[in-house]
A and B are shown apart, each in its own frame.
Chain A
């Protein structure tokens, strides 16, 4: 078999601060195949976004790469030079962010910001690049692209800005699109349109997606495989449907059970929601052993002392729990 498009192996990210070095991400490994949509789910502070930044080569102080390898098409890129990374970003790996207003340049018309991609990465002249930018806007279904191309970001709605971000990200036909909470700032009906658009364009161009979100439902709907992170570690990875049907880690099970699901009440009447006890630990005070142990209902002595190893699951997945049975 050929090598996967992206392979992250034993990634560690260190956070310097508060008089010590903390491990913000520990031994995170996953692979994304060509054209595959892969989801990384977790709550705020679990390390999902900085994992994405590490792949983009954008970790900055106080964060630093603590070890592990990142392979793009089998080539290690974790130690690539700034110039090499600049070449990769935009042309082979692209990223879109939660809040498009802060990611776009407020002083430049959106058409120019898209055209810049062609000029910088493909050496196109500005006139041709502007024509292609108009096409790109049309592809992300911005109405009247010939006029919108001259608009500044503040003249567009949130949904339109996110479409522009997608146009910029996909301009040079990257192999991998990293989307970090791309719709969290948007209204629900707009969210579903943006997700459909992203999925459709990426499928048409064969672009792989690394989708990062706190919304398990959203990710499971869009991605083929999903990994769940908790406190800096991947605790479970499974095909999207299996993660809802048969979650194996107590944390995933807790998440799936704790959210009121549409249609449940009509079927079964109002049931008390199952709670996950306790709170998300802070990075400076991760508990020893399994980091979920203070909140886990199945906790035993070993969970408090020994970090569980990764157990592969028969159907393309893994779980990190002493009692995954």
Chain B
């Protein structure tokens, strides 16, 4: 097997949360012991609800949040020992809100050219050439280069965000909810573009999204996160056709789909209650207060991520049950 592009080993990111009114400092375990890898050219879907730690995970892969424990290895090198600039040439990020993540006072040309200059490409002809080439790749016109972000629609802005992420020719792009801020009728354009660029440039993606339809469409493998832990991971088909963690099933059951209306399985699989606070997660399996399969063991014993089939692992004491 080829060397993974990215390896996370027992990665944990904890924050100390202090209260202004006393009560002491508490530890928020945003990411708590995550093992994960991404092969070159692969798309890993990362699914979970707000507060599950997926964005913190992304930031620590980018080297923007130091890990409390564990390792992030890129191309076999540990991230903390790598130079920041080298990291930037390997991993880039596309953000949810393209308006908030573009500098409103910079033309598109400047937004795309700055990273190149910072990375030592000083020749103006070459910078220009690469900017124009990138604009064409993301479906923008050459004359767009001298406009400002406010002159573009949401979909076009996201194209600029993608161009900025790709201009340094990274190997891995983390897409954090790349379409959820866009108009519904624009989303397909951006999803198609991301998939085309992946094939054309041999990119690996980590696709963070709460939209399971999108994740199923684009991912090769999928990891499901709940309160800082990966609760299930496997090939896209295993996750969507044979989910073994009750939380994965609950997520799938929660998708309103008129074609699955009479699906009895969906009714039973729904989770009850709400996500616990990451400051005070339930003992044992974090999902146990909401789980239809809950037993005593789920409170006393943390289930480990264990194999159910080749490449498919679930962190549930009852992972052998299929429904």
Contact = CB atoms under 8 A, between A and B. Distances in A.
B274 interface: yes
Interface stretch (B66-74, B100-108, B235-243): B235-243
Given A259-B213, A261-B213, A275-B192, A280 B256 contact: no
Contact of B216 (A188, A262, A273): A262
A275 to B, nearest CB: 5
A179 to B, nearest CB: 14
B210 A258 contact: no
B256 A275 contact: no
Given A43-B185, A220-B258, A254-B185, A266 B241 contact: yes
Contacts of A215: 184, 256
Contact of A260 (B216, B241, B258): B216
A159 B218 CA distance: 30
A274 interface: yes
A241 interface: yes
B176 to A, nearest CB: 16
B214 A260 contact: yes
Nearest to B196: A272
Interface string B237-268: 10011000000001111111111110000000
Interface string B149-188: 0000111100000000000000000000000000111111
Interface in A211-240: 214-218, 220-222, 240
Chain B interface size, under 10 / 10 to 19 / 20 to 34 / 35 or more: 35 or more
Nearest to A260: B217
A311 interface: no
A262 B275 CA distance: 24
Interface residues of A, number: 46
A222 B256 CA distance: 9
A265 B236 contact: yes
B158 to A, nearest CB: 12
A270 B191 CA distance: 12
Contacts of A193: 270-272
Contact of B217 (A157, A190, A273, A275): A273
B257 A276 contact: no
A192 B272 CA distance: 10
By secondary structure, the A interface counts as: helix
A240 B259 CA distance: 11
A217 B191 CA distance: 19
A295 B253 CA distance: 34
B216 A217 contact: no
Contact of B251 (A189, A216, A272, A274): A189
A84 interface: no
B189 interface: yes
A317 B22 CA distance: 61
A254 to B, nearest CB: 6
A104 interface: no
Contacts of A220: 256, 258
B258 A244 contact: yes
A240 B258 contact: yes
A191 interface: yes
Contacts of A276: 185-186, 188-189
Contacts of A251: 185
Contacts of B212: 188, 262
Contacts of B271: 189, 193
B120 to A, nearest CB: 37
Contacts of B10: none
A220 B250 CA distance: 20
Chain A to chain B: the 8 pairs with minimum beta-carbon distance, closest first = A260-B217, A258-B188, A187-B49, A192-B254, A273-B188, A221-B256, A218-B256, A260-B213
30 contacts: A43-B184, A187-B50, A188-B251, A189-B251, A189-B254, A189-B271, A189-B290, A191-B254, A193-B270, A215-B256, A218-B256, A221-B258, A241-B258, A254-B185, A255-B184, A258-B188, A260-B213, A261-B257, A262-B212, A264-B216, A266-B237, A266-B241, A272-B192, A273-B188, A273-B191, A276-B188, A276-B189, A279-B153, A279-B156, A279-B186
Interface of A: 43-44, 157, 159-160, 187-193, 195-196, 214-218, 220-222, 240-241, 244, 251, 254-255, 258-266, 270, 272-276, 279-280, 295
Given A263-B216, A275-B192, 4 more contacts: A189-B49, A265-B217, A274-B188, A275-B188
Interface of B: 49-50, 153-156, 183-189, 191-192, 195, 210, 212-214, 216-218, 236-237, 240-241, 250-261, 270-272, 274-275, 290
